[in-house]
Each structure stands twice: as C-alpha cells, then as structure tokens.
Amino acid sequence: MIVDLVLSNGKAYVNNRIVDCSLAINKGKIFKIGKEANMPKAETKTDLKNLLVLPGLIDIHVHLRDEGKAYKEDFYSGTAAAAAGGITTVLDMPNNNPVTMSAGTLRNRMKIAERKILVNVGFYSEFPRNMKEIEEIVREGAVAFKLFMAEQIGGLNIDDDHALLEAFKIISGLKVPVAVHAEDKIALKKAEEELKLANCNDIEAFLKAHSESVEVKAVKHLLNIAEQTGVHMHFCHISTENGLKAVINAKKSGMPVTCETTPHHLFLSVDDLRRIGTLALIMPPVREKHQIAALWNGIENGWIDVLASDHAPHTLEEKKTKLVWDVKVGIPSLETTLPLLLTEVKRGRLSIADVVRLMSEKPAEIFRLKGRGFLKEGNNADLAVVDLDKRYKIDASKFHSKAKYSPFDGWTAEGKPIKTFVNGRLIMDEGEIVAKAGSGEIIRRE
Ligand code: DOR
Ligand code: ZN
Ligand code: ZN
C-alpha cells in the first residue's frame, strides 16, 4: 500500500508523552504512528528534522467576522491567521452582521465559509427569539450556543430569567453546551452611566465599569438558573479570582460546568493596558496582578479547562476613538496564542502536556469534536509542527489577520509553529499559506 504522506524523523505528543517517531497520513487521517522502519511507502515524504508534532490546536473562541464585518476580518484572512498560529480548528462566534441566530443565518454563514476557509470551522449560534427554532439550529449543525450577558445581542431576552430557564431546559435536552460571556448587563450599564455623568471616559473608567463584581454577578446568576436544568455551561474568558471561585464551587457541587481563560488575561495586566492604551482594550478587561496570579493557579490546579484566543479583530481606527466607550473592544490573537504558550513552556511555567490539554484535548472533549484533539491512528490528520528552540520577535505587521497590531508586538517568543496540516493537507509552511481557499472543513455537530 502507498499512503499519501509520511512525516519522518519527528517527535510527537502521543499518549501523554513525547516520543521519537514518524507519522503516515492517508486520506486525511493519521494512518500510522511508529518507527521509520515500519512506515508504509508514500507518495510524498517530508523530513521533520526533529521538530515536534502536536495535535492541531482547537481554538473554541474566535470571531471570524466576514459578511457585514468583512472589513475587519473574513473567513479567508481569519483562518489563514489560525493556520499561521498552529490552530487547525476554530469555533466561530455569532455576534456577526447579521447575528447568527437562526437556521437560515447559520446555513448562509456555512455556505460563505465553505469556499474560503483554510482550517476547520465549527459555528456557535446565539439564541433565537422563538425558542422553537433552537432545535432547528442544532439540526443545521451549530456546535454550541453563545449567550452574551453584557448587552442584548441574540433573540433571547437576557433580562428575563424565566426565558433563560426555558432556553437552558431545551438546550440541555439537546445536549449542546452554552458558552457565556459573563458580565452582568444591568450592573455594567449602571456603572457606565454614573461614570459618563461624572465625565470619566478614559481607561480607568472602563476598568471601573467592568469590575470583578460585574463578572461574578453574571457567573452566579447564570449558575443559579443552570442548576435547575442540567445544561452544560461553559464560561468564556474568566478573568477574576472570584469569577473563577464561583465556577470552581459549581464544579465541586457536581454541576456540568467548564471554563476558559485567554492568553491576554494571563500575560497582560492593567499596567500593560495603561502603557499600551486602548489598542489593548478587550472585554472583560485585563486585570490586576493578584487576579492574574489566581488565573495561573486555576491553570496549575486544573480548574481552568481551556485556553482560547478570543481573536476579536477590529480596524486600527476603531481601536483609537476619543471616548473609551466608543472603542471597539477586542484584539487579534490567533497568531500569538501558541507562540506565547510555547514561550512559557520554555520558561518552565507550562508543559507541553498542559498546552495540548488546554488547547486540543479538552476543547475536543467539551465540544464533542470527534476524531480531533489527539494524535492517534484513525484520527483526522490535524497537526501543528513546532520548533521549540526558535527565538524571534512577534511582528504584528506580518499577521495574516486583517488586524495587523497586537499588544504583544515586539515581544520575544521562543517556540514557533512551522507547519500546519489540516485533514492531512499542508496549509501553512514556514509562515506562508500554501493551500487553496476552501481547504478547511465545516464542522457540524452530529
Ligand atoms: O473584547 C471583546 N471583543 N469582547 C467581546 O465580548 C466581543 C468581542 C468582539 O466581538 O469584538
Ligand atoms: Zn466575550
Ligand atoms: Zn469573544
């Protein structure tokens, strides 16, 4: 038998350890992992020169935009950024124009994406106005629902606890997770109004408005409702000690709860935000040092399940408005996430096992992405080939994302994604995109 590809002389993270091995790839799947002598003949052979192969990263929190927001990012540029960052699957957020919140908008989004994507893409949907449509959206293939609690985005009235309860009941029956942006709208708007009246419109005011208690309030509120339903709640970008504590308590009580944090919440503090300015403004914002320490603790103790980029690109003009309230919050981060994590591996704060657990294994498990997240014979050949010894400066002007800025611009990273394979196909090689648009696969919940 002749397989499509053999990757020789590599190392790979297999069965929870790094082993010297070669990998045979056929028809998009991992055909064999083993000694070079046991590899089948191949159409193409690539010498990995001792580089490390990881299961391709799965980024469960990405705003790919496109459609009405294509000027910020589109399916091609966003998935090119993912491939450049060693990420082989992304889950797309629904705050689009139009908002993804019906079978129709989802179907249309999938159709547009199909021709443009370079990595695998699964889709979140916001909740529809009419709850009867929830099942239709799941049938269309949404991998999960998103609930944005900071402001009304979807069709479900976030001020109506009874409606939330009904929605959670339906979704729990369908066994689909709900990912939440946990900031309490009422508390947030009240603080914002007071600050505006006092003529406080700068970064300090933004930090005051987006306080720890605003996060904690939303987390606790939703846990109270979720508890009555058995729904799987996934808390996005947890950023505070007490927000995390509330999640931990729910976990301890046996509720099906998971959470994520982001590289910017781990690596940037309010001091960085003050120094860099509104370019680094995101929601929830970066925090004080003691909050960051609590998040690192949560990673070390295994309470934080997932790391996700929350890639949220905007134009540079949108990032620099006069009043802080008008700044578009979010930063592009698909191309900095893995480099920053590998740098921490070099420093000894994280292990390769941590990176793979947080960005491949757990995401695949939580969102039921079958055949992904692990290097295993029979699984999809989604691979990130990395050079752990490569030292270089992060250069945002070279990003594949349309948003060519980053709070991490100029940082020295150690560890670089060198090749990205998606379903057995080489997509990125030495920073260049080498595959056609449409090479990625749309992921539908089965
Ligand atoms: O920083 C953020 N950016 N937080 C959000 O909740 C939304 C996101 C975006 O879409 O830009
Ligand atoms: Zn969010
Ligand atoms: Zn987001």
Q: How many CA atoms lie within 13 A of 364 on its CB side?
A: 22
Does residue 85 lie within any of the structural domains? yes
Q: Does 99 map to a domain?
A: yes
Residues 30 and 173 placed together within one structural domain of the fold: no
- From 124, 210, 283, 319, give the residue whose CB has the most ligand 1 atoms within 8 Å, as the site to mutate: 283
Distance of CA 145 to the CA centre of its chain: 14
- Give the angle subtended at the CA of 232 by the CAs of 226 and 236, to the nearest 5°: 95
- What pLDDT was estimated at residue 18? 98
Q: Kindly tell me if the per-residue pLDDT of 362 is higher than 90.
A: yes
Which pLDDT score is estimated for 218? 98
- Distance between CA 389 and CA 226 in Å, rounded? 45
Domain tally, the chain: 2
Are 401 and 334 members of one domain?
no
In a domain, 446, yes or no: no
The reply to whether 424 falls in a domain is: yes
> Does residue 47 have an active-site annotation?
no
pLDDT at 446: 82
Q: Residues 304, 397: one domain? A: no
Tell me: do 294 and 194 sit in the same domain. yes
**Atom 4 of ligand 1: nearest residue by CA position:** 283
Distance (Å) from CA 320 to ligand 3 centroid: 19
Instruction: Report, as an integer, the average pLDDT of 180-192.
Output: 98
Pocket lining for ligand 1, CB < 6 angstroms: 63, 95, 181, 282-283, 312, 329-330
CA 326 to chain centre: 25
Question: Is the pLDDT reported for residue 241 higher than 90?
Answer: yes
Radius of gyration of the chain (CA): 21
C-alpha–C-alpha distance, residues 278 and 274, integer Å: 8
Contact 403, 77 (CB under 8 A): no
CA distance 126 to 107: 14
Here the CATH number for the domain that contains residue 33 is: 2.30.40.10
Q: In terms of domains, do 424 and 321 share one?
A: no
Statement: residue 393 has pLDDT above 90: yes
Whether the per-residue pLDDT at 42 is higher than 90: the answer is yes
Q: Of 309, 340, 366, at which residue does a domain stop?
A: 366
Residues 12-19 have a mean pLDDT of: 98
Which tokens in the block code for residue 381?
């050949």
Tell me: do 168 and 48 sit in the same domain: no
Expressed in angstroms and rounded, the spacing between residue 157 Cα and the centre of ligand 3 is 19
> In angstroms, rounded to a whole number, what is the distance separating the alpha carbons of residues 379 and 360?
13
Structure tokens at 15: 């069965």
434 CA from centroid of ligand 2 (Å)? 32
Percent over 70 (pLDDT), the chain: 100
The answer to whether residues 89 and 181 belong to one domain is: yes
State the pTM of this model: 0.98
Contact criterion met (CB below 8 Å) for 14 and 375: yes
Mean pLDDT of 318-331: 96
C-beta neighbour count of 28 within 10 angstroms? 17
Q: Which domain holds residue 360?
A: 56-366
Q: Are residues 25 and 65 in the same domain?
A: no
Residues 337-360, mean pLDDT to the nearest whole number: 98
**Quick check: is 445 in a domain?**
no
CA 330 to ligand 3 center in whole angstroms: 8
Same domain, 184 and 292: yes
Q: Are residues 48 and 94 in the same domain?
A: no
Model confidence pLDDT, tens digit, residues 110-121: 999 999 999 999
- Average pLDDT over every residue of 31-60: 98
Per residue in 134-175, pLDDT tens? 999 999 999 999 999 999 999 999 999 999 999 999 999 999
Query: Is residue 376 in some structural domain?
Result: no
Return the percentage of the chain with pLDDT > 90, whole number. Answer: 100
- 6 vs 381: CA distance, rounded Å: 12
How many other C-beta atoms are found inside a 10 Å radius of the C-beta of residue 130? 11
Burial grade of 335 (CB within 10 A; 0-12, 13-18, 19 or more): buried
Q: What is the CATH number of the domain that holds 81?
A: 3.20.20.140
Establish if 115 belongs to a structural domain. yes
- Is 445 a residue whose pLDDT tops 90? yes
pLDDT, position 151 = 98
Looking at the structure, do residues 354 and 205 belong to the same domain, yes or no?
Answer: yes
Residue tagged active-site, from 310, 354, 387, 395: 310
371 in a domain, yes or no? no
Burial 286-322, CB ≥16 within 10 A → b, else e: bbeeebbebbeebbeeebbbbbbbbbbbbeeebbeee
Q: Please count the CA atoms within 13 angstroms of the CA of 379 that sit on its side-chain side.
A: 22
Q: Specify the 3-state DSSP secondary structure of 334.
A: coil
Same domain, 296 and 313: yes
